[in-house]
């Protein structure tokens, strides 16, 4: 039997994985067709292009992958800071439900599992880009960008965890003193 957290992580990883796949297809089709080669949706995963074009396409895909991961982490952390179930303002809650976007209000379990998935994808992109750089299939700036964005994203994730722990400790102290 799978644990609750493992099932939640698998569930939260489906949308980013589909987004990454779609991003790869769109960037590959755009790059190949803009550089004069013929590509369609049917042969996007089995292209035969020169090595220098392959390096450019891989570099653009991995840069967009890193930026997509970083934006996903920023989005999740913004939801955690402004729309967290434990410390959202009642006026904002009313406004969100009146605009029918109440799904933005989430608890810690959902928010931190989403952020963890984005962090895992971010480090996975770093490892893949470093390995492809070692093989000579991607430019060096891709590894550099990933090596900068991954620790920044992890730092903000840890700051958010600390903020949440402080909020929980303050709430417990209030309950204990009453």
pLDDT tens profile 24-82: 888 888 888 888 887 777 777 777 788 888 898 889 999 999 999 999 998 888 888 88
CA distance 141 to 123: 16
- Which pTM was predicted? 0.81
**What Å distances lie between residue 79 and 8, 65, 83, 124, CA to CA?**
18, 21, 5, 23
pLDDT tens profile 111-158: 888 888 899 999 999 999 999 999 999 999 999 999 999 999 999 889
CA distance 105 to 107: 7
* Residue boundaries of the structural domains of the chain: 4-177
Enter the tokens of residue 26: 């769109």
Question: Cβ neighbours of residue 6 under 8 Å, at least 6 residues apart?
Answer: none
């Amino acid at each position: 039997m799978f644990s609750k957290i493992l099932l939640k992580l698998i569930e939260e990883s489906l949308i980013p994985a589909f987004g990454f796949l779609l991003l790869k297809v769109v960037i590959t089709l755009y790059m190949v067709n803009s550089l004069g080669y013929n590509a369609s949706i049917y042969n996007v995963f089995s292209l035969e292009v020169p090595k220098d074009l392959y390096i450019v396409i891989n570099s653009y895909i991995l840069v967009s992958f890193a930026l997509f991961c970083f934006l996903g982490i920023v989005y999740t952390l913004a939801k955690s800071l402004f729309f967290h179930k434990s410390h959202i303002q009642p006026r904002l809650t009313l406004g969100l439900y009146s605009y029918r976007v109440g799904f933005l209000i989430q608890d810690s379990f959902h928010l931190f599992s989403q952020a963890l998935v984005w962090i895992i994808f971010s480090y996975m992109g770093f490892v893949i880009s470093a390995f492809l750089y070692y093989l000579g299939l991607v430019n060096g700036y891709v590894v550099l960008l990933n090596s900068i964005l991954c620790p920044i994203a992890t730092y903000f994730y840890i700051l958010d965890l600390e903020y949440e722990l402080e909020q929980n400790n303050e709430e417990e102290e209030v309950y204990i003193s009453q």
